[in-house]
């Protein structure tokens, strides 16, 4: 029997599909980012990010009620948190449904932003509040199914693949456990105190998008420098224009370096989680 055919617990769970993309749009009433301090963990230190709440939309996809909460982070990016429930969350059928819902939600959210392309960050979170045994026991019983969720794949994994996927675990009590991967996370909590973790994952994905935006701007500035260096003689005929462009590039590079350092510090703060 392959690892993907192994037995799994029948559990009800909540899913949070997070989508982050750059853009400007209608602003809403500005509200500070609130992280409810539910545990004595180091990652609940204050994070200085301005957030504008843009409202909540309730829709139905394939008979599944979905709540979409939109926000705007620091006038740089939009962040959508899409919430829905799955009855048998670890089953292959639930995985197929989740992938269809995710594709439909992405298309809906980005319908007015065709130029965004692949400049987005996507993340899925499985929230399980009721499970038998300890978190470690639950994970051991459902290793293959959890690995499928975290990598969004139906193909069979080897034993080593599953071990690698589930290796990153964080726990601050014997009643909760978080599995973290690049594309998804699974949070087990007998007290169902999930929202603080979800907010931190939203911040982390927002910061990753900021990294990509800054990287793209750096590439653009380097291309500008290259064009003017290649212009050579022509540029020397317009010294004031060349100096102005060079000064702008240097100023932008300094700004980018400062922004990179700020993002690095914020990601390290979140990384304590």
| H-state helical runs in 5-122 | 92-109
| 170 and 251 assigned to the same domain | no
pLDDT band at residue 68 using 50, 70 and 90 as cut-offs: very high
Mean pLDDT of 186-200: 87
State the chain's mean pLDDT as an integer. 80
Domain membership of residue 212 as a residue range:
208-271
Which token pair is 59? 């829709």
In this prediction, residue 240 has a pLDDT band, given cuts at 50, 70 and 90, of low
- Answer for the pair 73, 90: CB distance below 8 angstroms, yes or no: no
pLDDT at 199 over 50: yes
106 lies in the same domain as 119: yes
Count the Cβ atoms, other than its own, within 10 Å of residue 170. 16
- Strands of the chain (E only): list them: 13-22, 30-32, 50-61, 64-73, 77-86, 121-128, 169-173, 176-180, 184-189
Per-residue pLDDT of 169-185, as tens digits, reads: 888 888 889 999 989 99
Domain co-membership, 163 together with 239: no
Same domain, yes or no, for 264 and 137? no
In this structure, how many other beta carbons lie within 10 angstroms of the beta carbon of residue 81? Answer: 22
Same domain, 225 and 116: no
Structure token pair of residue 29:
């009433």
The reported pTM is 0.80
Q: Specify the pairing of strand 121-128 against strand 184-189.
A: parallel
pLDDT at 266: 58
33 vs 50: CA distance, rounded Å = 7
Cα separations (Å) of 165 from 27, 149, 157, 162, 186? 39, 10, 10, 5, 11
Asked if 196 and 242 sit in the same domain, the reply is no
pLDDT tens-place string over residues 1-20: 444 456 889 999 999 999 99
Number of domains in the chain: 2
Please check whether residues 112 and 31 belong to one and the same domain. Answer: yes
The DSSP element (H or E) to which 138 belongs, if any, is helix 135-141
- Do residue 249 and residue 217 come from a single domain? yes
Domain end among 189, 206, 223: 206
- As a whole number, mean pLDDT of residues 41-60 equals 75
pLDDT at 172: 81
Same domain, 101 and 221: no
Same domain, 56 and 183: yes
Last residue of a domain, one of 206, 230, 245: 206
Residue 271: pLDDT above 80?
no
Choose the final residue of a domain: 185, 206, 227: 206
From CA 216, how far away is CA 207, in angstroms rounded? Answer: 14
pLDDT band at 38 (very low <50, low <70, confident <90, very high): very low
Lowest mean pLDDT among 5-14, 64-73, 208-217, 236-245: 236-245
For the cut 70, the answer to whether the pLDDT of residue 129 exceeds it is yes
Q: How far is it, in rounded angstroms, from Cα 2 to Cα 156? A: 6
- Shared domain for 114 and 236, answered yes or no, is no
| pLDDT on residue 239 | 60
Which residue reads 């990652």 in tokens?
Answer: 43
Q: Clarify whether residues 191 and 235 are in a common domain.
A: no
């Amino acid at each position: 029997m392959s690892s993907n055919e192994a037995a799994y617990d029948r559990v009800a769970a909540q899913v949070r599909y997070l989508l982050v993309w750059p853009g400007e749009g209608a602003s809403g009433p500005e509200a500070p980012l609130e992280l409810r301090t539910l545990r004595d963990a180091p990652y609940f230190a204050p994070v200085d990010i301005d957030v504008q709440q843009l409202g909540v939309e309730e829709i139905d996809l394939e008979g599944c009620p979905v709540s979409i909460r939109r926000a705007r982070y620091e006038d740089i990016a939009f962040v959508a948190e899409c919430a829905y429930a799955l009855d048998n969350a670890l089953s292959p059928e639930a995985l197929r449904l989740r992938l269809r819902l995710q594709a439909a939600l992405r298309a809906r959210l980005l319908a007015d932003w065709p130029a965004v392309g692949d400049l987005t960050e996507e993340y899925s979170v499985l929230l399980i509040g009721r499970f038998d045994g300890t978190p470690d026991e639950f994970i051991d019983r459902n290793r293959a199914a959890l690995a499928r969720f975290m990598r969004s794949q139906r193909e069979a994994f080897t034993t080593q693949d599953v071990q690698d996927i589930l290796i990153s675990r964080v726990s601050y009590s014997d009643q909760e456990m978080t599995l973290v991967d690049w594309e998804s996370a699974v949070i087990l909590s007998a007290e169902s105190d999930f929202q603080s973790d979800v907010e931190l994952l939203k911040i982390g994905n927002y910061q990753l998008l900021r990294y990509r935006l800054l990287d793209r701007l750096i590439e653009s500035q380097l291309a500008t420098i290259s064009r003017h260096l290649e212009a050579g003689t022509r540029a020397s005929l317009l010294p004031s224009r060349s100096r102005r462009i060079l000064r702008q590039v240097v100023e932008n590079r300094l700004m980018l370096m400062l922004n990179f350092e700020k993002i690095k510090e914020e990601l390290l703060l979140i990384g304590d989680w």
